[in-house]
Structure 1
């Protein structure tokens, strides 16, 4: 990965953390780290960061509609219920079509605003939805940010509007063949490289080294070394021996072949095969970008609004529960009868976060990456576990696990 000039790293992170109570700086032994810039009390949210690149898991898309940028669940709630009951095979899809009485009509459920901590925004389609793009957002803000960062270069609708048939075909191949049949990391790599290209093209004096700071400053190794490090040749992560002999050379060759196939495709899609941007799309660079994603990505998670609504419904008087049940019909009844299963079904994805990625790990953490069940979106959050002194380095647990705090019982009136 390319090096950068003196002070470039400091300026880059200073812009990212402007107005925050944290800063990124070098440590004596651990590379970069995240530090507090002032005294901070325990249980304080000190970081709430938007992703550089992210995606909702493919399997999760079948269950929930969510914003392509922040993963906020999209409404209306009734349609979310219709979608989820089919995805979980609780009712046959033939009985939940828009023309069937079994489905819940939008606007028919009572007390939605009262029982949910936040309103569910209606889907805001990409500006090129009529040209074939099916990406949706929760707000104009998320749509604009995503467009500026990477979506403008990855939008199949925009390619259609421009009459760029070759790019349309390549994007469809990326989404259908590579993404669904191989690895989600490929599409994340496309987003990250599109972000770098967007930065490069927005510069008054284009500088590729400065443009690629988002990827050159994060920890990285070649993709095949990250997904199967050398120490795992004979044992899995729990120390159990494999029952077969692992062929590392064949494993690396297969993964390298995937990257070799992807590199020219992404160069054409993201950079229009611009020779000035060719260094971003070498096999080595792409392998490191994908390895960077594997090493630095964290979970994005939002509690299911369907589960929240049904859970809060249980706290209502019997008369109100009956009113909701009558309005929800077979769909609501099927979901209410599967609450244990619904408790494990949330909006989920992965994201790379430029500031959060510099948080080192410790057996004695002083911050945690935790999501409150009332958080409206999937942005990464850091919360202090104790009082923090100015200048103190921030650490998360060695086994970082993005978890939900216990779902608090709220009065519907709150």
Structure 2
């Protein structure tokens, strides 16, 4: 039996207005204003009813010159990648140090932490807290973190058969006591903690931390919320990590829209009299405008049928996807529901947000300074390499 979302029925007309595709003229006007506000020269966005939107050059560019630099609307590091790479939660730049990157990778993999392990996320999120103290610009105290030895039971049997570095060596890499040769040639920005103290998000600079807080993270941070909301956020995140981390992007979109709506309403109230407790639909539509420009369909309607699903089971498969989205939405609603923006928590809108990412996702690969570091070591003359007493670390890690 199909699950019914009561918000879909309650706000049917408003939801239709939200999901109505903008006209070509509205799209053109939006991008013209966006380009003008960012002072981008030589480029023009032109919508086409048949092929979508295209970026056109209106003047010549020098070879190797910068054509466009812009901020992504929302982005997230793949959950499975968080064990291997410590990056800024806003711009996704590698942070900490070469030693920290290598040490935490060795440490987590030595424990057998895998995204398929049932105790993975609780394990990794706790262990990582120990890694950053000496690499943080704020000197935070992590003395309340549980002893990583307590998580040894999560190690997989396969990890126990691998050759491991001594625990003391790995810990000295993470806490900065051990400095690898030539690592200073690959400096990384220090670790900046979340302004809300959630210890799940880390940044390369205070500006990135503040920007993420202002745009998305303040509603998704478990540091300053009540214990109940913190647990609700944890359940939502765990469900996303175990099923599909596309839900994390959808949550950022809803958070972005709510926060932008609140700012617009504050500015509007300074110049006009309005009811502070009721939803101002035109302002909410204005806050939603950047999202409205993306092509959308319901996730369960547009997702490709997997090869292992028979065509006769397609209807059941799409119903399962819909139920999965509804479960995620209920968990998100428990974590950050806003009564004034209630219609954003409709399954119809949530499904279209996820479908937008399904149809428009772009995976970005950020060059790893650790890989560059090992390439640098490999290119050293043999006489230089054999004189370095930490060569065994390079061999073990690269193997």
TM-score, with normalisation over the residues of structure 2? Answer: 0.70
Distance 1:49 1:27 in 2: 22
SS at match of 1:32: strand
Counterpart selection for 1:252 from 283, 303, 318: 318
Answer yes or no: is the 8 Å Cα contact 2:74–2:249 preserved in 1: yes
Q: Which runs of 5+ in 1 are unaligned?
A: 237-241, 339-414
Aligned to 1:22: 43
User: Per chain length, whose mean CA-contact separation is higher, i.e. which structure has more relative contact order (CA < 8 Å, sep 6+)?
Assistant: 1
Alignment of 1:5-404 (within 5 A): 9-10=27-28, 12-17=30-35, 18-20=38-40, 21-27=42-48, 29-87=50-108, 95-97=166-168, 105-106=176-177, 108-114=179-185, 116=186, 119-129=187-197, 132-159=198-225, 164-176=226-238, 178-203=239-264, 204-205=267-268, 207-228=283-304, 232=305, 236=307, 244-270=310-336, 272-274=337-339, 276-323=340-387, 325-326=388-389, 328-336=390-398, 338=399
Q: Please identify, of 285-294 and 10-19, the stretch whose mean Cα deviation from structure 2 is larger.
A: 10-19
Structure 1 32/215 Cα, relative in aligned 2: closer, same or farther at 3 Å?
same
Quote the offset at 1:70 in angstroms. Answer: 1.3
Q: CA RMSD in A?
A: 2.9
Quote the offset at 1:181 in angstroms. Answer: 1.5
Distance 1:6 1:282 in 2: 27
Answer yes or no: is the 8 Å Cα contact 2:298–2:348 preserved in 1: yes
Answer yes or no: is the 8 Å Cα contact 1:23–1:37 preserved in 2: yes
Quote the offset at 1:289 in angstroms. Answer: 0.1
Quote the offset at 1:226 in angstroms. Answer: 2.6
Q: Which has the higher strand share?
A: 1
Count of residues paired in the alignment: 313
Distance 2:386 2:294 in 1: 54
Structure 1 304/113 Cα, relative in aligned 2: closer, same or farther at 3 Å?
same
Distance 1:2 1:80 in 2: 45
Quote the offset at 1:217 in angstroms. Answer: 0.9
TM-score, with normalisation over the residues of structure 1? Answer: 0.68
Q: Which has the higher helix share?
A: 2
Answer yes or no: is the 8 Å Cα contact 1:66–1:136 preserved in 2: yes
Distance 2:95 2:249 in 1: 22
Aligned to 1:368: none
Answer yes or no: is the 8 Å Cα contact 1:102–1:331 preserved in 2: no
